[in-house]
Amino acid sequence: MKPLWVYIVRCADHSYYTGHTDDLDRRIAQHENGDIPSCYTFKRRPVTLVFSQPFVTREEALSAEQQIKGWSRKKKEAMMRGDWEEVSRLARSTARREAQDPSAGSDPSKNSGPSTSSG
């Protein structure tokens, strides 16, 4: 069975774009070539693939994509480095802030640019 992929590309403006696909090479080429003018990355090329992870089902890939989209830039970068201790520390830090101020988790400035689905 062909894997589904969650991926992150870094754009020329240093923002990140997170998506999922069933053909990673084709999808990255689409971002690089600007094949989809309505895509977030179109005006932010060139892009560089900085993270990818295979999944067995589209549901798993979509769930992981949505989870990553909700993460801060620092947390995404820790994951990309494979620094799971830092990812965990950042998760605890976020949970503590949200417990003190429930509106803290809804701050869109914590994200590093739009992260939209792609297939």
> Which of 50-54, 98-102, 106-110 holds the top average pLDDT?
50-54
Give the full edge-to-edge strand order of the sheet including 48-55: 16-21, 4-10, 48-55
Q: Which helix (H) or strand (E) holds 30?
A: helix 24-33
Mean pLDDT of 101-110: 55
> Which domains does the chain possess?
1-69 (3.40.1440.10), 71-114 (no CATH)
Q: What is the pLDDT of residues 44-96, one digit of tens each?
A: 999 999 999 999 999 999 999 999 999 999 999 999 999 999 999 998 887 77
pLDDT confidence tier of residue 22, bands split at 50, 70 and 90: very high
Helices (H) and strands (E) in the chain, counts: 4, 3
pLDDT at 6 over 80: yes
pLDDT tier for residue 116 given thresholds of 50, 70 and 90 = very low
Question: What is each CA distance from 117 to 8, 65, 84, 88, 105, in whole angstroms?
Answer: 11, 8, 24, 25, 21
Q: Where are the beta strands (DSSP E) in the chain?
A: 4-10, 16-21, 48-55
pTM score of the predicted model: 0.81
